[in-house]
Structure 1
Amino acid sequence: MSPRHNRSRRRDPGPRDPYVPVVDTVEDGWVVRHLAGTSSTKTYRCPGCDQEVRPGTAHVVVWPESGAWAGQATPDDRRHWHSPCWAARHRRR
């Protein structure tokens, strides 16, 4: 098998605990998780624009890094942002 073909193969990671979040990035002291629209079933309020993040909308969920790794993060610590609002958060006052 050629090395090129070998690199493109995906490995099955096996079963995943649904209660352990898949964390994409850690930025500015926040843990960031990107959610697809299909996994969103509730309405949230985006702190960036103060508009609703409606069910079925792809968005990001962020929570403080210190609480996440220490096992102390609670659902009250999480914030649901529109993806463009999260990307533009440094330009807002």
Structure 2
Amino acid sequence: MPRSNRSHGRAARAREPHPELDVDRLSSGWRRTETRGGREWNVQPVSEAQAVKTYVCPGCSLEVASGVSHVVVWRADGVLGDAADLAARRHWHLHCWRMGTR
């Protein structure tokens, strides 16, 4: 009898349902916390595909055009709570954020 090259475990795994992807968990994996000037900041990258609006960079006061990758920054240690910190988030050019221009 010829030998089968198929894995018998693959068929059993194919019948099992895939777990749902948690998009919030996946996207928050990119988020990081940085400390600058004694304050903690949440920094989340935005890819070219995700950048669909135009913003003004607080570092250089120039436009962050749609389709340009950048970072979104908000306080991680604000006293008014997470909702207020998130509402005060700003979109920075990656270079401006790295330079630390304030």
Output the TM-score relative to the length of structure 2.
Answer: 0.62
Q: CA RMSD in A?
A: 2.9
The gaps in structure 1 that reach 5 residues or longer are 1-11
Query: Cα–Cα, structure 1 residues 74 and 64, in superposed 2: closer, same or farther, change >3 Å?
Result: closer
Quote the Cα distance in structure 2 between the aligned partners of 1:45 and 1:54: 8
Question: Which has the larger Rg?
Answer: 2
Amino acid at match of 2:67: G
The gaps in structure 2 that reach 5 residues or longer are 1-17
Q: Measure how far apart 1:71 and its partner are.
A: 3.7
Picking from 6, 15, 18, the partner of 2:21 is 15
Output the TM-score relative to the length of structure 1.
Answer: 0.68
Picking from 53, 64, 76, the partner of 2:64 is 53
Query: Cα–Cα, structure 1 residues 16 and 48, in superposed 2: closer, same or farther, change >3 Å?
Result: same
Query: Cα–Cα, structure 1 residues 39 and 72, in superposed 2: closer, same or farther, change >3 Å?
Result: same
Aligned residue pairs: how many? Answer: 78
Q: Measure how far apart 1:82 and its partner are.
A: 0.3
Residue of structure 2 in register with 1:24 after alignment: 31
Residue of structure 2 in register with 1:81 after alignment: 92
Q: Percent identity?
A: 37
Query: Cα–Cα, structure 1 residues 42 and 75, in superposed 2: closer, same or farther, change >3 Å?
Result: farther
Q: Helix, strand or coil for the counterpart of 1:84?
A: helix
Query: Cα–Cα, structure 1 residues 72 and 86, in superposed 2: closer, same or farther, change >3 Å?
Result: same
Verify the 8 A CA contact 1:64 1:73 in the aligned structure 2.
Answer: no
Verify the 8 A CA contact 1:46 1:82 in the aligned structure 2.
Answer: yes
For residues 23-73 of structure 1, give each alpha carbon's deviation from its aligned partner in whole angstroms, at most 9, with x where no partner exists.
431012100001101101110000000000000000000111035xx5424
